[in-house]
Amino acid sequence: MASDHRLIGLLNKIKETSHGSILEDILQVVHHEAERRLIEAAHDPQRPNYHFLPPPSWINDPIPYFYAGHYHVFSQYHPGVPYWGNMHWNHVVSEDLVHWKNLSMALFPTWGGPDSQGCWSGSVVEHEGLFYAFYTGVYPQQQCLAVSKDLINWEKHPHNPVVSFLQKPPDVGDTFRDPCVWKEKDGWYMLVGSTKPNLGGSPLLFRSSDLLKWEYLHPIYQGPAAGDECPDFFPLENKHVLISSRHFTKWAVGEFSNLKFEVERAGLVDHGAFYAANSLLDSFGRRIIFGWIREERPIEAQLTAGWSGVLSLPRVLSLFPNDKLRIEPVPELKVLRNKRLVKDSFELTGFFENVGLRQIEIPEANSIEIEIEFSNLSAREWGLVLPGGEDILYNVEQGRFMLEDYPLDDRKEFKIHIFVDNSVVEVFANDDFCKTVRVYRDLEAYDEPLRVICVDGKVRVKNLEVWSMGSIY
């Protein structure tokens, strides 16, 4: 109510004065109003308890950045309304990767500027005590810069755009966005997302000595292992990794030499409702990635709920000995475990019509974490059915896990780690497969038991643990 009054006051002030400089104040009021509505949205049974979402609004594309013990996540943000539109940058911060504080909006479009129709995704770097946020101003898509002393208050650079649409090479598609900036010994580099028609992604490499004047070099790679959106490029152990998005967020591991990226292995960061992921490097040397978990319920339901989009749980990246990307939830999430509800091990046998079945009652199964390890994998199908009906199954004949191609090869054990948080379910398998699922269930559905099943053969559950999870709100 107080925010409504302040908003009306500001609108009256605009009418009385000839200048529109108080637009910024108005946006802050809208932001506070949205925060008030967060409290209302807490009653929405689909809203997660321990995944972060800002005050009811739209978010997409996390832009993580670590500095001085603080994990910052900027994101695409449409304040106050649950649909995509004129993009702003929201800003949240955490000291523990679990609890997040919403700060004031970092960036919003400037009337008459190159970003008048939106400040799209990008990245943040630090140089000589100042922070530089590179982002795409629209339309046309051009790379812009905002500078800050404290990561909170940002000023758009007078030379914007620092990379004009005229610098886009003629042989790539329309996409020219989401600058990823980093430093090498000989200067600053920027990758801009683009496509090579009929070939795949084509991240374009630029170089600068002062962060202001950028010279186009060439695509670092062109092909299906890259998407055209949200490139993120970094060294990991003795390799380099390119993260980028098109339909899904992809990873590619390879060698970076002579300013070209040679892809050696590639895959998906997540097979589900997870997109536009980007990473940060923390003071422990950990490369941590966040994705945007999008909604999958009808737009009308999103409008009624008032919010759309959630930040994924943070995931640590490393490499397996064969250079496949290893993806694990950060260990910090363990502080959310309230109570261990189950600790068990058993064998299941299922033949013909008789499915091997263990049913386990779980109180408040809408907010739980599950870890299960299977061994002795000699059945045709085995896995879990979550309360409410989500299948987390491996089918040996099809070589598929959760309906996605996933060969067992000579694997003797199979480990599944699941986070259920109302409508968000994040599944991790063997640290090399993730699938985020959105499941909009009625609360009664969670009264059903957790089912562990085995079809045509035997399987051993070496260990099953289930915890109830606390809320971060």
Range 228-257, binding ligand DQQ (CB under 6 A): 229-230
Residue 151 as a binder of ligand DQQ (CB under 6 A): the answer is no
Q: How far is the CB of 146 from ligand DQQ (least distance, A)?
A: 15
Range 48-107, binding ligand DQQ (CB under 6 A): 60-61, 76, 87
Q: How far is the CB of 245 from ligand DQQ (least distance, A)?
A: 6
Residue 270, SS3 per DSSP = coil
| Residue 363 Cα to chain centre, angstroms | 29
Interacting residue with ligand DQQ among 177, 246, 417, 460 (CB under 6 A): 177
Residue with smallest beta-carbon separation from ligand DQQ: 120
Write the single-letter amino acid at 228.
Answer: D
CB hemisphere CA count around 461 (13 angstroms): 25
Residue 94, SS3 per DSSP = strand
Interacting residue with ligand DQQ among 178, 282, 390, 431 (CB under 6 A): 178
Q: How far is the CB of 57 from ligand DQQ (least distance, A)?
A: 13
Contact partners, residue 63, CB within 8 Å, separation at least 6 = 73, 74, 75, 89, 121, 122, 123, 124, 278
Interacting residue with ligand DQQ among 276, 311, 365, 434 (CB under 6 A): 276
Residue 204 as a binder of ligand DQQ (CB under 6 A): the answer is no
User: Which residue stretches of 298-436 are H helix?
Assistant: 299-305
- For tokens 């386990």, name the residue: 360
- Number of neighbouring beta carbons within 10 Å of residue 379: 24
CA pair distance 90, 426, nearest whole angstrom = 23
Interacting residue with ligand DQQ among 57, 75, 90, 121 (CB under 6 A): 121
Residue 377 in contact with residue 456, Cβ under 8 Å?
no
Which one-letter DSSP state was computed for residue 441?
-
What would you report as the CA-atom Rg of the chain, rounded to the nearest whole angstrom? 23
Q: How far is the CB of 114 from ligand DQQ (least distance, A)?
A: 14
Q: How far is the CB of 247 from ligand DQQ (least distance, A)?
A: 11
Residue 120 as a binder of ligand DQQ (CB under 6 A): the answer is yes
Q: Which is nearer to ligand DQQ, 230 or 379 (CB)?
A: 230
Q: Which is nearer to ligand DQQ, 138 or 362 (CB)?
A: 138
Q: Which is nearer to ligand DQQ, 92 or 230 (CB)?
A: 230
- Number of neighbouring beta carbons within 10 Å of residue 309: 24
Q: Which is nearer to ligand DQQ, 59 or 288 (CB)?
A: 59
Residues that bind ligand DQQ (CB under 6 A): 60-61, 76, 87, 120-121, 136, 177-178, 229-230, 275-276
